[in-house]
Structure 1
Protein backbone atom coordinates (compact mmCIF):
# COMPACT_ATOMS: atom_id res chain seq x y z
CA UNK A 1 0.00 0.00 0.00
CA UNK A 2 1.26 3.48 -0.88
CA UNK A 3 0.26 7.05 -0.32
CA UNK A 4 -0.89 8.80 -3.49
CA UNK A 5 2.11 11.15 -3.55
CA UNK A 6 4.61 8.27 -3.44
CA UNK A 7 3.58 7.27 -6.96
CA UNK A 8 4.24 10.77 -8.34
CA UNK A 9 7.43 11.01 -10.39
CA UNK A 10 7.87 14.65 -9.34
CA UNK A 11 7.82 13.61 -5.67
CA UNK A 12 10.32 10.79 -6.32
CA UNK A 13 12.67 13.14 -8.20
CA UNK A 14 12.31 15.80 -5.49
CA UNK A 15 13.22 13.19 -2.88
CA UNK A 16 16.31 12.16 -4.88
CA UNK A 17 17.41 15.76 -5.39
CA UNK A 18 16.97 16.43 -1.68
CA UNK A 19 19.24 13.57 -0.69
CA UNK A 20 21.88 14.50 -3.26
CA UNK A 21 21.97 18.16 -2.23
CA UNK A 22 22.07 17.22 1.43
CA UNK A 23 25.27 15.27 0.76
CA UNK A 24 26.64 18.06 -1.43
CA UNK A 25 26.03 20.71 1.24
CA UNK A 26 27.99 18.71 3.81
CA UNK A 27 31.15 19.70 1.94
CA UNK A 28 30.43 23.43 2.31
CA UNK A 29 32.69 25.29 4.75
CA UNK A 30 31.83 25.08 8.45
CA UNK A 31 30.96 28.78 8.47
CA UNK A 32 28.01 27.96 6.17
CA UNK A 33 26.50 25.30 8.46
CA UNK A 34 23.76 27.63 9.70
CA UNK A 35 23.60 29.70 6.54
CA UNK A 36 23.80 28.39 2.98
CA UNK A 37 24.01 24.70 3.93
CA UNK A 38 20.93 24.97 6.10
CA UNK A 39 19.07 27.09 3.55
CA UNK A 40 19.63 24.76 0.59
CA UNK A 41 18.65 21.72 2.68
CA UNK A 42 15.46 23.34 3.98
CA UNK A 43 14.50 24.58 0.51
CA UNK A 44 15.13 21.28 -1.26
CA UNK A 45 13.27 19.34 1.44
CA UNK A 46 10.32 21.71 1.09
CA UNK A 47 9.83 20.65 -2.51
CA UNK A 48 8.84 17.05 -1.70
CA UNK A 49 7.15 18.05 1.56
CA UNK A 50 4.79 20.45 -0.19
CA UNK A 51 4.01 17.99 -2.97
CA UNK A 52 3.00 15.38 -0.41
CA UNK A 53 1.05 17.82 1.75
CA UNK A 54 -0.85 19.22 -1.22
CA UNK A 55 -1.71 15.79 -2.59
CA UNK A 56 -3.84 14.94 0.42
CA UNK A 57 -5.64 18.28 0.52
CA UNK A 58 -9.36 18.84 0.28
CA UNK A 59 -9.37 20.31 -3.21
CA UNK A 60 -7.46 20.60 -6.46
CA UNK A 61 -7.12 24.35 -5.83
CA UNK A 62 -5.31 23.53 -2.61
CA UNK A 63 -3.04 21.06 -4.43
CA UNK A 64 -2.19 23.75 -7.01
CA UNK A 65 -1.35 26.12 -4.15
CA UNK A 66 1.05 23.61 -2.61
CA UNK A 67 2.58 22.91 -6.02
CA UNK A 68 3.26 26.66 -6.27
CA UNK A 69 5.06 26.47 -2.92
CA UNK A 70 7.13 23.55 -4.25
CA UNK A 71 8.03 25.45 -7.40
CA UNK A 72 9.10 28.46 -5.34
CA UNK A 73 11.24 26.24 -3.13
CA UNK A 74 12.94 24.83 -6.21
CA UNK A 75 13.68 28.36 -7.42
CA UNK A 76 15.27 28.99 -4.02
CA UNK A 77 17.40 25.88 -4.45
CA UNK A 78 18.64 27.14 -7.81
CA UNK A 79 19.64 30.44 -6.22
CA UNK A 80 21.50 28.56 -3.49
CA UNK A 81 23.33 26.59 -6.18
CA UNK A 82 24.38 29.86 -7.81
CA UNK A 83 25.61 31.15 -4.43
CA UNK A 84 27.56 27.94 -3.82
CA UNK A 85 29.17 28.12 -7.25
CA UNK A 86 30.09 31.79 -6.88
CA UNK A 87 31.65 31.08 -3.49
CA UNK A 88 33.58 28.15 -5.00
CA UNK A 89 31.92 25.58 -2.71
CA UNK A 90 30.92 23.46 -5.70
CA UNK A 91 32.60 22.84 -9.04
CA UNK A 92 31.19 23.97 -12.36
CA UNK A 93 30.46 20.32 -13.16
CA UNK A 94 28.47 19.90 -9.93
CA UNK A 95 26.62 23.13 -10.58
CA UNK A 96 25.69 22.10 -14.12
CA UNK A 97 24.46 18.69 -12.97
CA UNK A 98 22.20 20.03 -10.20
CA UNK A 99 21.12 23.02 -12.26
CA UNK A 100 20.05 20.67 -15.06
CA UNK A 101 18.28 18.35 -12.61
CA UNK A 102 16.49 21.36 -11.11
CA UNK A 103 15.53 22.73 -14.52
CA UNK A 104 14.05 19.40 -15.59
CA UNK A 105 12.19 18.99 -12.30
CA UNK A 106 10.85 22.56 -12.56
CA UNK A 107 9.45 21.86 -16.03
CA UNK A 108 7.85 18.64 -14.81
CA UNK A 109 6.31 20.38 -11.81
CA UNK A 110 4.92 23.25 -13.86
CA UNK A 111 3.37 20.82 -16.35
CA UNK A 112 1.97 18.73 -13.51
CA UNK A 113 0.46 21.80 -11.83
CA UNK A 114 -1.20 22.87 -15.10
CA UNK A 115 -2.85 19.44 -15.36
CA UNK A 116 -4.41 19.52 -11.90
CA UNK A 117 -8.07 20.04 -12.71
Structure 2
Protein backbone atom coordinates (compact mmCIF):
# COMPACT_ATOMS: atom_id res chain seq x y z
CA UNK A 1 0.00 0.00 0.00
CA UNK A 2 1.35 3.40 -0.90
CA UNK A 3 1.37 6.39 1.42
CA UNK A 4 2.32 8.97 -1.17
CA UNK A 5 2.85 9.36 -4.90
CA UNK A 6 6.58 9.17 -4.11
CA UNK A 7 6.10 5.46 -3.31
CA UNK A 8 5.11 4.73 -6.91
CA UNK A 9 8.01 3.20 -8.86
CA UNK A 10 6.91 4.90 -12.08
CA UNK A 11 7.01 8.29 -10.34
CA UNK A 12 10.46 7.56 -8.85
CA UNK A 13 11.88 6.65 -12.26
CA UNK A 14 10.17 9.64 -13.92
CA UNK A 15 11.66 11.97 -11.31
CA UNK A 16 15.15 10.58 -11.98
CA UNK A 17 14.51 11.08 -15.70
CA UNK A 18 13.75 14.78 -15.06
CA UNK A 19 17.06 15.13 -13.22
CA UNK A 20 18.83 13.45 -16.15
CA UNK A 21 17.16 15.86 -18.58
CA UNK A 22 18.27 18.88 -16.57
CA UNK A 23 21.85 17.58 -16.51
CA UNK A 24 21.82 16.93 -20.26
CA UNK A 25 20.25 20.25 -21.22
CA UNK A 26 22.72 22.21 -19.08
CA UNK A 27 25.18 21.55 -21.90
CA UNK A 28 22.89 22.81 -24.67
CA UNK A 29 23.86 26.03 -26.48
CA UNK A 30 22.77 29.22 -24.72
CA UNK A 31 20.46 30.15 -27.60
CA UNK A 32 18.36 27.06 -26.74
CA UNK A 33 17.59 28.25 -23.20
CA UNK A 34 14.12 29.45 -24.20
CA UNK A 35 13.70 26.95 -27.03
CA UNK A 36 14.41 23.25 -26.90
CA UNK A 37 15.74 23.29 -23.33
CA UNK A 38 12.61 24.93 -21.98
CA UNK A 39 10.25 22.65 -23.93
CA UNK A 40 12.21 19.55 -22.89
CA UNK A 41 12.11 20.62 -19.22
CA UNK A 42 8.35 21.22 -19.31
CA UNK A 43 7.60 17.90 -21.00
CA UNK A 44 9.90 15.97 -18.67
CA UNK A 45 8.44 17.59 -15.53
CA UNK A 46 4.95 16.83 -16.78
CA UNK A 47 5.56 13.10 -16.46
CA UNK A 48 6.04 12.83 -12.67
CA UNK A 49 3.74 15.81 -12.05
CA UNK A 50 0.82 14.09 -13.76
CA UNK A 51 1.56 10.79 -12.00
CA UNK A 52 1.43 12.73 -8.72
CA UNK A 53 -1.80 14.50 -9.64
CA UNK A 54 -3.43 11.29 -10.82
CA UNK A 55 -2.48 9.57 -7.58
CA UNK A 56 -4.93 11.69 -5.57
CA UNK A 57 -7.80 11.31 -8.02
CA UNK A 58 -10.52 9.06 -6.67
CA UNK A 59 -12.11 7.72 -9.84
CA UNK A 60 -10.31 5.20 -12.01
CA UNK A 61 -11.11 7.08 -15.24
CA UNK A 62 -9.80 10.33 -13.77
CA UNK A 63 -6.59 8.63 -12.57
CA UNK A 64 -6.04 7.08 -15.98
CA UNK A 65 -6.59 10.43 -17.71
CA UNK A 66 -3.70 12.00 -15.81
CA UNK A 67 -1.51 8.97 -16.39
CA UNK A 68 -2.29 9.16 -20.10
CA UNK A 69 -1.17 12.80 -20.10
CA UNK A 70 2.07 11.60 -18.49
CA UNK A 71 2.43 9.00 -21.26
CA UNK A 72 1.96 11.71 -23.88
CA UNK A 73 4.63 13.86 -22.26
CA UNK A 74 6.92 10.86 -22.17
CA UNK A 75 6.60 10.42 -25.92
CA UNK A 76 7.20 14.14 -26.42
CA UNK A 77 10.46 13.73 -24.50
CA UNK A 78 11.39 10.77 -26.66
CA UNK A 79 11.27 13.12 -29.64
CA UNK A 80 13.31 15.80 -27.86
CA UNK A 81 16.00 13.21 -27.11
CA UNK A 82 16.20 12.33 -30.80
CA UNK A 83 16.22 15.98 -31.82
CA UNK A 84 18.98 16.83 -29.35
CA UNK A 85 21.07 13.99 -30.74
CA UNK A 86 20.47 15.02 -34.35
CA UNK A 87 21.44 18.62 -33.51
CA UNK A 88 24.60 17.30 -31.82
CA UNK A 89 23.57 18.82 -28.49
CA UNK A 90 24.12 15.48 -26.71
CA UNK A 91 26.66 12.74 -27.20
CA UNK A 92 25.75 9.24 -28.38
CA UNK A 93 26.37 8.03 -24.84
CA UNK A 94 23.99 10.60 -23.34
CA UNK A 95 21.45 9.75 -26.05
CA UNK A 96 21.50 6.06 -25.08
CA UNK A 97 21.38 6.87 -21.37
CA UNK A 98 18.30 9.08 -21.86
CA UNK A 99 16.64 6.51 -24.12
CA UNK A 100 17.27 3.76 -21.56
CA UNK A 101 15.86 5.97 -18.81
CA UNK A 102 12.75 6.86 -20.79
CA UNK A 103 12.18 3.21 -21.76
CA UNK A 104 12.33 2.17 -18.10
CA UNK A 105 9.97 5.00 -17.16
CA UNK A 106 7.57 4.02 -19.94
CA UNK A 107 7.59 0.37 -18.86
CA UNK A 108 6.81 1.25 -15.24
CA UNK A 109 4.16 3.81 -16.18
CA UNK A 110 2.43 1.35 -18.52
CA UNK A 111 2.47 -1.32 -15.80
CA UNK A 112 0.98 1.15 -13.30
CA UNK A 113 -1.78 2.04 -15.77
CA UNK A 114 -2.49 -1.62 -16.43
CA UNK A 115 -2.75 -2.29 -12.70
CA UNK A 116 -5.29 0.51 -12.34
CA UNK A 117 -7.26 -0.61 -15.40
CA UNK A 118 -7.33 -4.18 -14.08
CA UNK A 119 -8.37 -2.91 -10.60
CA UNK A 120 -5.21 -4.33 -9.05
CA UNK A 121 -4.18 -1.15 -7.33
CA UNK A 122 -4.34 0.30 -3.88
CA UNK A 123 -3.44 3.67 -2.56
How many angstroms apart in 2 are the aligned matches of 1:78 and 1:113?
Answer: 19
Q: How far is 1:3 from its partner?
A: 4.9
> Mind listing any 5+ residue stretches in structure 2 that lack a counterpart?
none
Aligned partner of 2:49 in structure 1 is 49
CA contact (8 A) 2:81 2:99 kept: yes
Q: How far is 1:58 from its partner?
A: 2.4
Q: Which shows bigger deviation, 18-27 or 40-49?
A: 18-27
Aligned partner of 2:58 in structure 1 is 58
Aligned partner of 2:85 in structure 1 is 85
> Mind listing any 5+ residue stretches in structure 1 that lack a counterpart?
none
Distance 1:3 1:22, change over 3 A: farther
How many angstroms apart in 2 are the aligned matches of 1:99 and 1:39?
Answer: 17
Compare relative contact order (CA 8 Å, sep 6+) and give the higher one, 1 or 2: 2
TM-score, structure 2 as length reference: 0.90
Q: How far is 1:104 from its partner?
A: 1.6
TM-score, structure 1 as length reference: 0.94
Q: CA RMSD in A?
A: 1.2
Aligned partner of 1:27 in structure 2 is 27
- How many residues matched? 116
Q: How far is 1:100 from its partner?
A: 1.1
CA contact (8 A) 2:13 2:104 kept: no
Q: How far is 1:4 from its partner?
A: 2.0
